[in-house]
């Protein structure tokens, strides 16, 4: 695994730890409401359990990517980067927010490309 590949994988992992933080701890705060374009504080309160669950899943993706770096295992990296890419594509499609594709899927796709190049 090259240094550049490791950095890209780490970047995607850090993004997902940040998503975990936003969804689990900031969802009902002004920063979370703004970041996710929520309708209102009331809506945020009503959906905070769902958001926390979603944040936990993002944490699992990040943990898998960190594990792949520690183990120096491209197969694990590829698996979790594909999962992140699919999540970004589906999230963008289901919410009709192309920004999700750019923020979540594109970095994972770039890291995937480097995984295949460095293999």
Tell me the pLDDT band of 39, cut-offs 50, 70 and 90: confident
- Which DSSP category does 101 fall into? I
Q: What is the arithmetic mean of pLDDT over 40-58?
A: 94
- Residue 8 class from Cβ within 10 Å (0-12 exposed, 13-18 middle, 19+ buried)? buried
Q: What is the domain count for the chain?
A: 1
Nearest residue to 85 via CA among 36, 1, 12, 4: 12
pLDDT of 119 over the 80 cut: no
- What is the residue range of 29's domain? 3-118
Q: Which residues of 75-86 are buried (b: 16+ CB within 10 A; e: fewer)?
A: ebbbebbebbbe
Rounded to whole angstroms, how far apart are CA atoms 88 and 43?
Answer: 23
pTM here? 0.91
């Amino acid at each position: 695994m090259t240094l550049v590949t490791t950095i890209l994988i780490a970047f995607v992992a850090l993004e997902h730890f940040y998503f975990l933080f936003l969804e689990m701890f900031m969802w009902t705060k002004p920063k979370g409401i703004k970041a996710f374009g929520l309708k209102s504080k009331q809506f945020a309160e009503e959906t905070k359990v769902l958001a926390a669950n979603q944040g936990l899943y993002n944490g699992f993706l990040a943990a898998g990517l960190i594990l792949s770096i520690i183990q120096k295992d491209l197969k694990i990296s590829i698996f979790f980067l594909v999962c992140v890419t699919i999540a970004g594509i589906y999230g963008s499609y289901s919410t009709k927010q192309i920004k999700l594709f750019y923020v979540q899927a594109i970095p994972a796709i770039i890291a995937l490309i480097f995984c295949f190049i460095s293999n």
